[in-house]
Amino acid sequence: MAKLTSLKAEKRQLDRRAADHIRSHILDGIFPANSRLLETQLSDELEVSRGTVRSALAQLAGEGLVKQVAFTRWEVSGSSSTDGWEIYTLRGVLEGLGARLAAANVTAEDAERLRTICAEMLRAISEGRFQDATDIDFDLHAAIIELARHRRLAEQHRMILHQVRFHMVQSGFLPKDYDELISDHKQLIEAVIAGDADRAEKLARSHNEGEVRLLTASLQQGHPSDRIDVENV
Amino acid sequence: MAKLTSLKAEKRQLDRRAADHIRSHILDGIFPANSRLLETQLSDELEVSRGTVRSALAQLAGEGLVKQVAFTRWEVSGSSSTDGWEIYTLRGVLEGLGARLAAANVTAEDAERLRTICAEMLRAISEGRFQDATDIDFDLHAAIIELARHRRLAEQHRMILHQVRFHMVQSGFLPKDYDELISDHKQLIEAVIAGDADRAEKLARSHNEGEVRLLTASLQQGHPSDRIDVENV
DNA sequence: CAATCACCGATTGTCAACAATTACGGTTGC
DNA sequence: GCAACCGTAATTGTTGACAATCGGTGATTG
């Protein structure tokens, strides 16, 4: 297991910061899917008490990144085709709602902002900085959700994006056609900017449909990606 | 504050049971919106340690029924028009997805089951047992979601239903037209049973639209229902 | 008299010890 | 040889004590 940096600077609550650290390790693939997490080990490495680690793990369990087996173990969530299918179908309707509401609220500055982010993404791709491009992709979707001015939706969306990222890392997913990716996003934000709620929702939902179809197919073949059982030594 | 019954029977984890008790008190209106919750008071009344209560409250915060103000206080969530609008719009898309997927999975036994629940609801209404009818209403929606076979969706839906219930209690909401309510549900489950995914989704989404419209109007009038500030003595 | 500041009680945040439960390996009996 | 049983080590669950923080109260000062 990789070394975690201690957390005693800052002023936020320790358990939140512990959760942030563990979460980023999960999202970076340092703690792989299905790997076991030991409270004592985490508390040693983060230099906080076990209770604090427990609280952090409970948060992450609520976010769907970690599973608890009572009296027995904590482990990083799985990343099977079923999980992927669940994640992308949920993402579809959440972003659909977000796009619909965003279209109803959008202002001129918002429009500018969205176009800027999209341009940044385009530049990142054209310069071959694909990791940056992916980050900006997430930022763009989060920015649209923000326009919806819907706290609960934003919270759900934040969590589902974490899960999307996790699933991408675990499954080694990479976009295959960056031109199409850009075109998708351009269409989406233009629909939002134009205030066309129906079209914005439809585009947001169809944005994930490629993955959903892929994963559905993978499920029907009985793809055995549930069997992964990495141990975390 | 009402007396809570102690929890030392059963075998589930204490924090889960504590969360269940506090949750049901919130949903029953015993802890009203925006009322303060004291860790020591809860731990005394539930006869568990403060740490356990903290864990329970953290869970409920994750479910959106409770808010935490760091280093200062826990309080029951608010129940403003904005909250209601958020809850019902989210519910709409979640149940939309659920109905769509349910329509794709439904079997003959499922159909029977749905019709049975619907009939029970009808009977409850005709016998004037309106509280039971509301419970069965929730059961029916949960049953449809179950058919979607989507763990994450089911979890989100469970939480949003709690929030719906909470909002109904706090706002004193009562269905105004039971005939329409029954008709809505009949149409919905028949669409699901017929496997008509598009129609099922559409009906599930429109099922909440009445409330959404009401709450949107209430918002635009600047209805001051955010101002509620009950104290919990 | 109003504004500011230092104190104090109340409440939440963190910790380390103790209890309960589980999983595993060895032993025993058949 | 195999299955059931039991003891033990490892791990999670729970608790009470201690630390940090906040909000209000009253004294102080301009």
pLDDT band at B233 (very low <50, low <70, confident <90, very high): very low
Q: Domain span at residue A26?
A: 14-76
Indicate whether B7 belongs to any domain.
no
pLDDT reading at B154 higher than 90: yes
CATH number at residue B52: 1.10.10.10
Among the residue ranges A133-142, B40-49, B145-154, B175-184, the one predicted with the least confidence is B175-184
Q: How far apart are CA B108 and CA B122, in angstroms?
A: 21
Q: Name the burial class of residue B41, with classes exposed (0-12), middle (13-18) and buried (19+) by CB atoms within 10 angstroms of its CB.
A: middle
Say whether both A88 and A106 belong to one domain: yes
pLDDT of residue A88: 97
Indicate whether A226 belongs to any domain.
no
Task: Assess contact for A42 and A26: CB atoms under 8 A.
Answer: no
Identify the domain boundary among B76, B95, B113.
B76
pLDDT of residue B2: 39
Whether B90 and A152 lie within 8 Å, measured CB to CB: yes
Identify the domain boundary among B26, B43, B76.
B76
Say whether both A67 and A88 belong to one domain: no
Integer distance in angstroms from CA A74 to C1' D9?
Answer: 19
Among the residue ranges A134-148, A163-177, A189-203, B32-46, the one predicted with the least confidence is A163-177
Closest Cβ–Cβ partner in A12, A59, A150 for B86: A150
Q: For the segment A154-210, what is each residue's pLDDT rounded down to a tens digit?
A: 999 999 999 999 999 999 988 888 999 999 999 999 999 999 999 999 999 999 888
pLDDT band at A223 (very low <50, low <70, confident <90, very high): low
Whether A90 and B51 lie within 8 Å, measured CB to CB: no
Say whether both A85 and A138 belong to one domain: yes
Say whether both A118 and A203 belong to one domain: yes
Count: domains in chain A: 2
Q: For the segment A8-22, what is each residue's pLDDT rounded down to a tens digit?
A: 456 789 999 999 999
Say whether both B25 and B70 belong to one domain: yes
Integer distance in angstroms from CA A71 to C1' D7?
Answer: 19
Average pLDDT over residues B14-41: 97
**Residues contacting B62, CB < 8 A, separation 6+:** A59, A62
Average pLDDT over residues B110-129: 96
Indicate whether B189 belongs to any domain.
yes
Say whether both A85 and A184 belong to one domain: yes
Say whether both A63 and A172 belong to one domain: no
Phi, psi of A76 (to 5 degrees): -65, 145
